[in-house]
Amino acid sequence: MNPAARPLPSTAAGLGLRRALLGPLRDAAPGDFDFLECAPDNWIGVGGRFGAALRELSARHPLVCHGLSLSLGATDPLDDTYLARLRRFLDEHRVPLFSEHLSYCSDGGQLYDLLPIPFTEEAVRHVSSRIRRVQDALGRRIAVENISYYAAPYQAMAEIDFVTAVLEEADCDLLLDVNNVFVNAVNHRYDPHEFLHRLPGARIAYFHIAGHYDEADDLKVDTHGAPVKPDVFALLDAACARFGPRPTLLERDFNIPPYAELVAELGQVREVLARHAPAANQHARA
């Protein structure tokens, strides 16, 4: 963590910084949200009124960053120039948490999708080495996010074994996307509670929660374009019961409703976090 950045409270609830929401976010009443999250890929080097709005918001509210393009699982060389620019951005905005996807999105060029990594020991070593290099370049620990996936590549181990092996080998943290656990559990036929049970709670930096599309009873699509389903809120409750509350980001990337509806949904997130706050100190994070 950047020494100038303050850690987020465990019960902090945040919203995504989207350009369509800049007006409402700048005019927000105190207490509407506790932090904002942006994709630095979309903001590095941005000037004019958008750059000014970002600087204003990050001066008033904690800003966490969630990357889109490092392509941690790829074989393409890491972009050292971009990593240097990213480090300056994170330092400038006093970012307490930076995360990326446990996936790849390039193969000799940008693929514009987050593709799953084969679940193999070789892939564990490969992606962990790249995560360690990113952490060295950024001068901070990062968190990696468990992604949703549909067409699974070669799997010599279960998803949970792959994720936990990467966390250990890379010595990094986890951004636990609760909706992705639910979606993958339905689509790939595993128990989401068993998945939670096997996670190393001490490495969980924060949670994501989002809506998905019910294609069928046995097929869910992670969209970030709908309200959070009751089953996903129930899984967030189970995660908080097991690990204690963590800062939680409500993701909404399209079909963005009126700002007041987002704040109301964030209130549901707050209720879950607050329900487990008294027990927070009982959950070690060492």
69 domain-assigned: yes
pLDDT of residue 212: 95
Q: Which amino acid is at 278?
A: P
What CATH number is associated with residue 218? 3.20.20.150
Asked whether residue 15 is domain-assigned, the answer is no
> Into how many domains does the chain fold?
1
Predicted confidence at residue 34, as pLDDT, reads 98
* pLDDT recorded at residue 282: 46
pLDDT, position 110 = 74
Regions of the chain with pLDDT less than 70: 1-4, 111-112, 279-286
Residue range of the domain that includes 196: 20-278
Q: Is residue 65 part of a domain?
A: yes
Structural domain contains residue 221: yes
Q: Is residue 9 part of a domain?
A: no
**Residue 33: predicted pLDDT:** 98
Q: How many CB atoms lie within 10 A of CB 78?
A: 15
pLDDT value of residue 106 = 79
> What's the pLDDT at 195?
98
Distance between CA atoms of 100 and 69, rounded to whole angstroms? 8
